[in-house]
Amino acid sequence: MPTLSFAGDSFFSPTFVSPGCIPTGGLPWLLAEHRELVCPAWLLRGWRGQGRIGRKAWPAQLLMALVLLRWSENLPRETAIRRASTDLGWRAAMGLPADVKVPSDRTVRDFERFLRERHPDIGVHRYVLLHEHIVRLCLDRGIGGEGAIWGIDSTPMWCFGACIDTVRLMGTGLRHLARWWARATGESFARVAASWDAAFLLAPSTKGGFDIDWKDREQRARAVDALAKAVVRIVGEVRRRVGSIRRRFRKRALLLCRGLAGIVANDLETDVDGRLVIARKVTEGRLVSFTDRQARNGVKSKSKRFKGFKLSLVGDLVSGLITSVAVTPGNQHDQDAILPLIARAAALVDGIDELLGDSAYGFAEKRERVRRQLGVTLVSPPSDAAPPTAGDRLTKRDFDIDFDADTATCPAGVVSADKVWRKSGERHVAAFVWPRAVCDACPLRERCLKGTRRTQVLRLHPHERALRESRELWEQASVKRKYRRRGEFERLVGRMVQLGGRCAKAWGIAFARFQAHCIAAINNLGLLAARLAQGAAAQV
Ligand code: SF4
């Protein structure tokens, strides 16, 4: 691999021109001193930098250093390139002599695309391999070693595309479709809008196209209904006539139709009067942006909602090392992403036995799977345990279950071995039944049986055993004491946010994942730089 390296005492060396341009212990210092270590050649194999001049001559390690410097300051690509042309510290970090011009925007963009590709030998995205490589470097130097306390958490990551409401989504989608249809048929936009009987498309905004008071509930409902019916009609018409336009326009036209049909299916419902109204519900595929189609509505807490993605991470709250990150659509529950996330962390670090997580990770089914498959115990408050009932009513918690003997004992001390299967929603669950005669004569029946029931049927949770075990574990004072430190994990989440994890810098979940791994790598490189600088100072 060709390099643009220079002798340390050259007149063109940035450190010769300005000896104090890279303070010890920072990322530029780490890259200047240990670039080969941080950017290994095996990871960058396949980069085209084999030429002698022009874009093909830029070495991968130099570009890698520039990408890391860019993400360390959360700069747009063009700004980072401009900075590299004037900042001697950055030039020293990249190994770029003072008299050599900086790579072009296109070269850096191509290199970032190269990092987002899968490594041909390993089949994993290069940015994931880079992050894992840096985690290993940190672990080798004792960061995240003895005394580490591992935790897991997530935070919202807003999408890059414009998020708009259902009315604007339908209007914008129709305008995209009309513009595309006009291109495909060679007609003007106004003519297409007129032929579709959709004059509102000619207005500067969708809401402005309807001459109504949008604060008036009745008028608004009528406008939404008219707009939704126009979408259904136009999508049907375009689908019917798509065979008449040139082949190269068809795919995009059908894609836009699919997006619009999806909005009507997911965001609208029919009311009692047969009108299409905006549904007050959460659906899996609900679009929030026409420009960022993978972004979804997310809920962080009862009052906190967001649009975009969810950034999850596993790390050590003592050292600040982030071992694995994942970006999922905003509507995906925290617990759905944990298996691959924890598996990656456990593959990198020996001895992750326990993970502190909030109640979002306390569901019995996932806890049990994580414990069985990965040998990791999630220390978090049980989420799916039934809340204690007010008053003196007996609850499921007052019944003992012997899972080995397959029996249950009620608060009156009556043992039932009568296990049956009962339908509960979509699935069948196990239940213990007590004889009616016994319950009729029981002094506790008023507190035990609900309403007009004559006998007790105790339905078990599909993961009742794991649920009871986690509840018992949670009752232990030592576990609660341990859990008190979970709050410190917010520091790691805050660090990711500080480095630019709150908002995606480009469209799509693929880029958001790349961005999340880059900033996690920057966090870890900061720890590594501090540790190596300490070692260097100790040697002096
Ligand atoms: S009502 Fe039946 S199940 Fe409930 S405590 Fe009495 S005997 Fe046990």
Average pLDDT in the 143-147 region? 86
Q: Of ligand 1's atoms, which has the minimum distance to the CA of residue 443?
A: 6
pLDDT at 261 over 60: yes
Q: 290 Cβ partners below 8 Å, 6+ apart? A: 161, 162, 164, 169, 172, 173, 176, 259
How many other CB atoms sit within 10 Å of the CB of residue 347? 13
Q: Residue 333 corresponds to which tokens in the numbers above?
A: 């529950």
How many other CB atoms sit within 10 Å of the CB of residue 352? 21
Task: Specify the pairing of strand 407-409 against strand 354-356.
Answer: unpaired
Q: For residues 113 and 103, what is the distance between their CA atoms, to the nearest angstrom? A: 15
Task: Specify the pairing of strand 377-379 against strand 354-356.
Answer: parallel
Q: What is the Cα gyration radius of the chain?
A: 30
Q: For residues 186 and 191, what is the distance between their CA atoms, to the nearest angstrom? A: 10
C-alpha 452, offset from chain centre: 47
- If you measure from the C-alpha of residue 444 to the centroid of ligand 1, how many angstroms do you get, rounded to a whole number? 6
Average pLDDT in the 46-60 region? 70
Residue 262's identity, in one-letter code, is G
How many other CB atoms sit within 10 Å of the CB of residue 344? 19
Q: Residue 315: helix, strand or coil by DSSP?
A: strand
- If you measure from the C-alpha of residue 432 to the centroid of ligand 1, how many angstroms do you get, rounded to a whole number? 12
- If you measure from the C-alpha of residue 395 to the centroid of ligand 1, how many angstroms do you get, rounded to a whole number? 11
Q: Residue 281 corresponds to which tokens in the numbers above?
A: 């519900």
Over residues 382-424, the pLDDT tens digits come to 876 566 666 788 888 889 999 999 999 999 999 999 999 988 7
Tokens 């950017």 identify what position?
39
Q: Using the 8-state DSSP alphabet, how is residue 118 labeled?
A: B
Q: Mutual orientation of helices 27-38 and 60-72 as an angle, nearest 10°?
A: 140
Average pLDDT in the 327-337 region? 84
Tokens 């396949």 identify what position?
46
More confident residue, 107 or 9: 107
pLDDT at 250 over 90: yes
Residue 267's identity, in one-letter code, is D
Question: Does CATH number 3.40.50 belong to domain 296-384+473-510?
Answer: no
Q: What are residue 268's DSSP bridge partners?
A: 278
Predicted pLDDT at 6: 46
Residue closest to 181 by CA, chosen among 239, 133, 114, 249: 249
pLDDT at 320 over 90: yes
Predicted pLDDT at 297: 82
Q: If you count DSSP H runs as helices and E runs as strands, how many of each does the chain have, helices first?
A: 19, 14
- If you measure from the C-alpha of residue 22 to the centroid of ligand 1, how many angstroms do you get, rounded to a whole number? 76
Q: How confident is the model at residue 237 (pLDDT cuts 50, 70, 90)?
A: very high
Average pLDDT in the 100-105 region? 88
Predicted pLDDT at 504: 92
pLDDT at 8 over 80: no
Predicted pLDDT at 206: 87
Predicted model pTM: 0.81
pLDDT at 87 over 90: no
Average pLDDT in the 334-352 region? 88
Predicted pLDDT at 356: 93
Q: Mutual orientation of helices 60-72 and 77-86 as an angle, nearest 10°?
A: 110
Over residues 424-451, the pLDDT tens digits come to 777 888 999 999 999 989 999 888 888 7
Q: Residue 235 corresponds to which tokens in the numbers above?
A: 């999508």
Q: Of ligand 1's atoms, which has the minimum distance to the CA of residue 448?
A: 4
Probe residue for ligand 1, chosen from 410, 415, 418, 452 as the CB with the greatest number of ligand atoms within 8 Å: 410
- If you measure from the C-alpha of residue 245 to the centroid of ligand 1, how many angstroms do you get, rounded to a whole number? 73
Predicted pLDDT at 7: 44
- If you measure from the C-alpha of residue 422 to the centroid of ligand 1, how many angstroms do you get, rounded to a whole number? 19
Q: Which of 117-131, 321-335, 375-389, 504-518 has the lowest mean pLDDT?
A: 375-389
The phi and psi torsions of 277 (rounded to 5 degrees) equal: -125, 160
Average pLDDT in the 122-126 region? 94
Predicted pLDDT at 164: 79
Q: How confident is the model at residue 227 (pLDDT cuts 50, 70, 90)?
A: very high
Q: How confident is the model at residue 135 (pLDDT cuts 50, 70, 90)?
A: very high
Whose alpha carbon is nearest atom 8 of ligand 1? Answer: 410
Predicted pLDDT at 3: 45
- If you measure from the C-alpha of residue 455 to the centroid of ligand 1, how many angstroms do you get, rounded to a whole number? 8
Pocket of ligand 1 (CB under 6 A): 410-412, 414, 434, 438-439, 442, 444-445, 448-449, 456
Q: For residues 133 and 40, what is the distance between their CA atoms, to the nearest angstrom? A: 9
Predicted pLDDT at 2: 41
Whose alpha carbon is nearest atom 5 of ligand 1? Answer: 412
How many other CB atoms sit within 10 Å of the CB of residue 138? 26
Helix residue ranges, H only, 292-411: 338-348, 364-374
Q: 136 Cβ partners below 8 Å, 6+ apart? A: 348
Average pLDDT in the 225-245 region? 94
pLDDT at 81 over 60: yes
What percent of the chain is predicted at pLDDT more than 90?
48
Predicted pLDDT at 14: 67
Q: Where are the domains of the chain?
A: 14-146+518-539, 166-278, 296-384+473-510, 396-460
Average pLDDT in the 351-357 region? 89
Q: Residue 353: helix, strand or coil by DSSP?
A: coil
Contact 79, 69 (CB under 8 A): no
More confident residue, 18 or 343: 343
